Each structure stands twice: as structure tokens, then as C-alpha cells.
Chains A and B, each alone.
Chain A
Amino acid sequence: MTASGTTILNELTLAEARDGLKAKAFSAADLTRAHLAAMEKARGLNAYLVETPDQALTMAQAADAKIAAGEARPLEGIPLGIKDLFCTEGVATTAGSKILEGFTPAYESAVTANLWRDGAVLLGKLNLDEFAMGSSNETSAYGDVVSPWRRAGSDTRLVPGGSSGGSAAAVAAHLCLGATATDTGGSIRQPAAFTGTVGIKPTYGRVSRWGTVAYASSLDQAGPIARTVRDCAILLGSMAGADARDTTCADLPVPDFEAAVARGVKGLTIGIPKEYRVEGMSAEIQALWDQGAAMLKDAGATIREISLPHTSYALPAYYIVAPAEASSNLARYDGVRYGLRVPGKDIAGMYENTRAAGFGREVKRRIMIGTYVLSAGYYDAYYVRAQKIRTLIKRDFEEAYAAGIDAILTPATPAAAFGVGEKGSGDPVEMYLQDVFTITVNMAGLPGISVPAGLDAQGLPLGLQLIGRPFDEETLFAAAQVIEDAAGRTRLPPAWWA
């Protein structure tokens, strides 16, 4: 790091910024101002739905006071973007939906409260697919997010992935040092892979869901997206923790994730699941996967092929379980107490008008699928069978881990980012296939990390995924760091949007 005069503060990693603040190389207010300026120039990316400059500066100044008093907390003065699925007290929260237009929570989500407790600064709320349903950030009621990445020699607008598209784009474009995100079927890992950033979905139960708008409760889990493995480890350390208000949240201490980053992989056994070598996988992805395995092997890990036989059932089972839960979770958006209300001739009319106007196409589709699979006469054939498949998928992983596998390496996505409007407009399944490598991890409740491992032929980032044992995020950080070190951090192309 050079002197603050020549350092572009918002391009630091979170760890570098933390150390710089501690060394008083620059102030938290300067760091925040650098981000606010970058955000202003990058509005064309549509990553932020709400910017909170006043609040950000107030929080930054408070952080400077703490630093001056020698009372700096773990994230003191670190400016972050918050996915607009996390309720923030006094700051509008929309979940990317018209139905929550005008809703300002009177409470702070557990995750964001933990971040503010540790001294972080709120820059604003980040765009996302509506109710986190999507893989391209095109289902947001507030417009598409555009990726800061472009194919070499092309100005085609690319998607940042989804549903945490705003988070991934903002982190990649240096509009925050890190961002919160959520992952129900791949919504952290896929956008991280598309934008050359690192994203971890922790074990189900590692992070409290309290105050985060629910999509599919048994699958939803919050995690960070950041520019390095270390930054992710630092952020997860603050986001995670037991919470009596979420009974599915594990009562476990939070390990020192940052310390785990330097552990290396010597002596670990990494599984390569043959079922992930899906039909039609590109040579490019296969090569990336092989390179990843080689990187881990070079660092001292043993590579072993494994079998996860029920993998192919995960995606269809997910599209029963997740919509079923969503159809019930989204029933509360009825126009009675908060958010949008469109009058009707009677109460049923009001419900119909409100929900017709308030929900977008993809959300409606999933509510209808979910309602259908839970209906009398269909429940056993769909929901019950999907839950059985879920148990089998979980067992696949348990058997692999019992056989001595420490972590599993897979591609994060079937390909690099695609163009806005290119996929899913006709057949939604085309979009659902984006999550083919990530969805098993949610179904099994396991931790998974996506780490950049190289670029495709058109210069777009590609990611690899590591899947771990329950509550063993530490091994994932260690292994992901090995890949990050070997592959080198992806460097964003020049800021064409600014």
C-alpha cells in the first residue's frame, strides 16, 4: 500500500483497509467518502437500490472516534453494502419487490446488527432478484443489475448472476469492501463466480435468519461476498453466531475464520464427484476444474474421485421444496399491514389486486408451483418425495465425508456470465440450470465457497466451488486460499461505467 494520497481507497481489500485504518494511514471518513464517490459514478450498474451517504458518514466518523480512542472493533470503519433482503432499521427494505415498496423496518436483522456491533459502516442497500428468486438479477422490480465485467472486445451488457447480483457487482466494481448476500440455491456462489469475487454460503444454522426476508426457510442462509478469501473469512466471523431468536440457528461458537485462511491443505483429501461432470460440460470448465485439483494437489492435498449418486435429482427436488416454502412464506404480503395495497371490491379482491400488482412473474410462478405441490392429493407425490430425495442427497455427502473426504471440489457454474436478456425468457428451466452445481449444497445444508480460478476464452471470470463438512467453513477458507494464491486474484478490467 502506498501513502494515502496515491492509494485508491475503495480498491483496497477489506483486510488492507482494516490495517490501514488501524495504522491511521487514512480515516474511516475518507474511506467511506471514496466509496460514496465511486457509487455515485457507478449508478449505471444499478447495484445499489438505496444509498445512505449521511448515515454512512455518521457511522464512519463514529468509527474514527473509536479508532482514535484505541477502541477499534473487528470491522471498525469498514464500508459495506447490504443486500436488500436484510431488514435495516429506518432504511427502506424491499426484497427487490414492488410489494414491499414503502416498507421501512423498525428493526435490524441479526446479521446487520452483528456487523454494526463490530463497527462496520452502511453504504446502502443492494439490488437483488425479487425475493432472492433468480440467477441473473433480472427479476428485480427495480431493474437489472449490470455486471462490471465485459467480454473482451464487446460492450454487451452482462448479468452479474443472482440473486445476490447487486452484492457481487458492487464488490467487483469496488463500490464497497464487502457485501452481505444470501444463498438458497446458489445465490451467493453463482454471482461471485460471475464477477470474479469470493462468496461463501455457510452451513445452514451458522448465521441467524432473524430479520432477513425469507424465501425458502429450510434452505436460506446468509453469507458474505468479498474480493478475497480472507475478506470473506473476516466478514463471516462477524455475521455468524448463535441467536435464540432463530431456533434453526446453531448454538455453536464462531471459530477464528481468518486464522483458518493460512492453514493450507497439506494432508487433506479433496473429493472430485464424478456426477458433476454433467453432459455438455464445456472443455473450458473441465480444464478449470482439473487445474483447481492440480493446485490443491500441488499444495499437498490428496485428490480422490468420489460418487454422489443422487446429484441429478437435486435440481428438480429443489424446485419443489423451495417454491413450497416460498408459497407459504410470501403469504404475509397481503396488503393488510405493510407494503403495497391495491384496493378491491372485497377482501379477496384486495388480496388479488395487491398480489397481482406487487409480485413479479418469477415470484408468481414459484408461488403457484409451491401452492400446487402442497395441495391435497399432490403433497405426497411431490413434497414428500422431494424431502426423501433431500435426505438421500444429504446421505451421499455424509458417506463421502465418512470415507475420509475433507472437502469436495466442483465447478461453481456451468459457464461464465451471460448477457442481459439471453436466458430464461422462454424456458425458465434454462435459468434454473445455472444452479446445477450449487443447489445440492443447500439441499444438504452444507457450507460451500466459490472462489475465482481463472478466465474463460472471452476474458470472463470463472469460479470453482469447494463443499465442506457441516460447520467446517475453516477447511473451505484454507482450501480456497490455496486456489486464490495459485490462480491469482482476478483483476477487473478498466472502469468503463465511471
Chain B
Amino acid sequence: MTAAVNPKKLIKGGLHDWEVVIGMEIHAQVTSRSKLFSGASTEFGGEPNDHVSLVDAAMPGMLPVINEECVAQAVRTGLGLKAQINHRSVFDRKNYFYPDLPQGYQISQFKDPIVGEGEVLVDLAEGETITVGIERLHLEQDAGKSLHDQNPTQSFVDLNRSGVALMEIVSRPDLRSSEEARAYVTKLRTILRYLGTCDGDMEKGSLRADVNVSVRKPGAPLGTRCEIKNVNSIRFIGQAIETEARRQIAIIEDGGTISQETRLFDPGKGETRSMRSKEEAHDYRYFPDPDLLPLEFDQAYVDALAAGLPELPDAKKARFIETYGLSSYDAGVLIAERASADYFEAVATGRDGKAAANWVINELFGRLNKEGHSIETSPVSATQLGAIVDLIGEGVISGKIAKDLFEIVWSEGGDPREVVESRGMKQVTDTGAIEAAVDAIIAKNPDKVSQAREKPTLLGWFVGQTMKATGGKANPAAVNALLKAKLGIE
């Protein structure tokens, strides 16, 4: 993508402004019960080496067998990225020695990945949307883990993760700021979660990013990039990019040059540091894995998977705007998580969409955040919230009472309609009762009555008194109308 340079996104250097160019390789753990080439469990946790098959431990004579579910997940993801699905792909061996790599090679896809070019639409603040190009997606094995803190003189190896399926999703260098990078990862994660192909849990390492960063004068050719390996939170991705871009700018402005290398981000020290230079880079000696035949499937297979896909975030957002009359922003907030969108939709169906969105976004999300709840563990169900919205719509309770009702349902549960009934929270629409209250207030405050006739804004004071006298249950519209009539205010 070659969009015009947005001056707001440039970084101020000592000499002039700099544009940062970012591309990302996201490693997303495939949601599957067993590993990419073995039947061992992918369950997180467990004692070290609990989930290790003979294949994962690379015992002599063991052979990989492709897990068809992982293939289906990669195709689903490719479809979600609006990408080309390659009907024939090849597994290659990436050769290097490391104790947590039992085979001495990682099975990956090099020349012929399962998914080709695609794109991701990313919404930014202020209504801006960018398109990030996807170069490819391929399947590969995860490595095990070396444990250096278990013994004073030895390192141990845990192979539970060895052979777990990863999707490496490679973006084009289309990102121009840390904000864009964070928004891209967030959006990608949303898509993966919608698809159910990766849980996106960065704390458990289900989603990790290698971030390629370079800087240039706006409009100049691409600068030399550095790759920051294995960044494991969206916040750190932003920090790593900022830190690295500033490091590179400082070097160039000092007359130096950037050398291509692999770096690590240390969030504690807020710096990136060199891991290995280009000269030290491994020669991975990729070649097609002779143990595995090329992976081939037909369009019917892809079509069947496409037919089973859920509605994806972009489509859902458009539909929410269209069907429920939501703003782009509100729709964006609601679709960020599939569970939130589902919740909203359960509330909104058959009701006023905007009112439902207000309640979900402002009241519910606010409260969930405050209490550290997720939408899945919300104490107020969509059915309950829907009933509250209904009660307002029907004029049974006022908006103010509704907030009290929400509090009661949040902490005590129950059917909102019954709560309103049993606690006498019904709005009073009986003009007789309201009139009695209004008359009493007018009788008690003759001075205020005459003032109000001079200054109609004093009506608010009378409304407040009436609401107080009726315990907040009086229908505000009826109160207003009565007061205006009695006080003679137009």
C-alpha cells in the first residue's frame, strides 16, 4: 500500500521528521486438540514433557502425519484474511540445532505456503481506516522450551509445546506508526477469535509478534530494517516500535548507518538490544520435507470451509450500522469481541438498537471493566438487560430508575420485570397522583411559584421536588406537562 504520508504520524527527529515503516510476522497458535504432526495434546500447562509423543521427541524412525484440523484452521484463517488459498502447498524443513528443537529442523512452509496474499482492514482513531496487505500465511511447528533455572549446572528441556501448530501471518510493510501496528494486531486477533482458529491469548504465548522496523525520510526508499523478535503483548509492540524507531533515528542523525539485525525488546529497561547480526544469521538450508507429500485439496474443500465460517468482524460491523442505526464507532466497539457482539445482538433484537448499544457500551461495559469481568462472566445476562431496555421503552420505568434497576440485577439477579413489580419501582403515570403531589408543592412554595413565572428555568426545581415526593417514580413527561399547565409556563 502506498498511501500518502500522514504528517501526524511522523516522528520528530533532531534534524527533520521521520517516517517509520513497520511489517509484522505474527505467530498464532492454531486452535486444535492435537499437534501439527502428532497426536499429542496441545493443552496449555501440565507437567514438563507430559504432552510429548515419540514424533515430538524425534525418536529414530518417527514420521510426521499432518493433522487435518490444523489445515482446515489455516484455510479458515486465510478466508478470514480475504486471502488466496493455495490448493497445493509444500512443507519444508528449516534446519538448525537447538536443544528445544528435537528433530534438528522445524517443519515449516517456505516456498509454497498454504495461504497467499490477503488483506486486513484496520480502523484507527478519528474514523480513519487503513488496509494492511497480507503477504502470506503458512503452517509450522512450534519449538519446545529450554528451562535454565531448574538446576545450577544443567539446562532442562520441556517439549510440551514442541510440534504445536502455529500459523505465521506475514504482513506487508504497510504500517506507519506504533498506533497502526497495535490496531493491526488487535484487529487480526479479533478476526482469529471470530474464526475460532487461534485464542489470541498473548499471556499464554498463543499470539507472538516479530516486528520489522525501519525509518526513512518521508517519501524516501525503505531504510534498513531490524527485526524485533517475539514481542508478546500489544502494549509492548507499541513500545518496542517507538523505542526502536528512535534508536534508528538517533543513529542516522548522528551520521551512522543501520545494520540489519535481529533484536530483542526489553520492556523493563525500555530498550531493544542486538540478538544476532545479519552475518550471524543462520543458513536454514530449507528443502522440501521428504517425509510429507505436498498438501493438496480442491476448491470444494475450501468452499465447504467457507460455508461454515461465522460472520466476520467487518461484515458484522457493516450490518450493525445498517440494521441497528449505530455509529461506526459504536459498531466498532461492539464487534471487537465476538461475545460482545453476540450479547449486543441478543439485547438489540426486536428493540431499539441505539438504546441497546447505549446500555451495552456505557452501562454494561463500564461496569464490567470496573469489576474486572469479561462479557462471558457478566452478572447481567442479555435477557435481563433486554428486559430493562423494554421497561424503559414501555414507559414502566424512567431512565434514572433503570440505572437503579441495573444495579439491583447486577448484584442480586432476578427478572427485572419482577424486581420492578416487587419493589414498587414502577413509574407513576397516574396523573391524579402526580397532580396531588404537584398541588402540594405549589401550595407550600408560593414565592417560588411567582419567581418561576418570571424565570421559566425554575421549572427544573419543581420537577426535582415532584420526583422526590414521588420517590422518583413519576413519569417525567407527565410531571413536566402538569407543572407547565399549573404554573402557566409555556
Contacts and interface: CB of A to CB of B under 8 A. Distances in A.
A246 B63 contact: yes
Nearest to B66: A247
A245 B285 contact: no
B489 interface: no
B128 interface: no
Contact of B61 (A209, A244, A347): A209
A372 to B, nearest CB: 10
A318 interface: no
A332 B104 contact: yes
B93 A328 contact: yes
B105 interface: yes
Nearest to A94: B60
Contacts of A100: 60
Interface string B271-295: 0000000000001011100111100
A371 B104 contact: no
A218 B290 CA distance: 5
A93 B62 CA distance: 14
Interface residues of B, number: 29
Interface stretch (A102-110, A133-141, A450-458, A466-474): A102-110
B65 A248 contact: no
Most buried by A among B60, B64, B291, B292: B60
Contacts of B59: 87, 105-107, 337-338
Contact of B63 (A218, A245, A383): A245
B103 A331 contact: yes
Contact of A245 (B65, B102, B290): B65
A337 B102 contact: yes
Contacts of B293: 247-248
Given A244-B65, A347-B155, A351-B97, 7 more contacts: A106-B59, A247-B291, A328-B104, A328-B287, A336-B102, A336-B157, A374-B285
B97 A209 contact: no
Nearest to B146: A347
Contacts of B287: 324, 328, 374, 379, 383
A85 to B, nearest CB: 8
Interface of B: 54, 57-66, 93, 95, 97, 99, 102-105, 155, 157, 283, 285-287, 290-293
A270 interface: no
A210 interface: yes
A217 interface: yes
Interface string A134-173: 0000000000000000000000000000000000000000
A430 B457 CA distance: 110
A271 interface: no
A95 interface: yes
9 contacts: A93-B60, A106-B59, A209-B63, A216-B290, A245-B65, A246-B63, A246-B65, A328-B287, A332-B104
A95 B286 CA distance: 26
B97 A334 contact: yes
Most buried by B among A106, A109, A336, A371: A336
Contact of A328 (B62, B99, B285): B285
Most buried by A among B97, B290, B292: B290
A105 B290 CA distance: 23
Most buried by A among B99, B285, B286: B285
A82 B113 CA distance: 40
Contacts of B105: 328, 331
Nearest to B95: A328
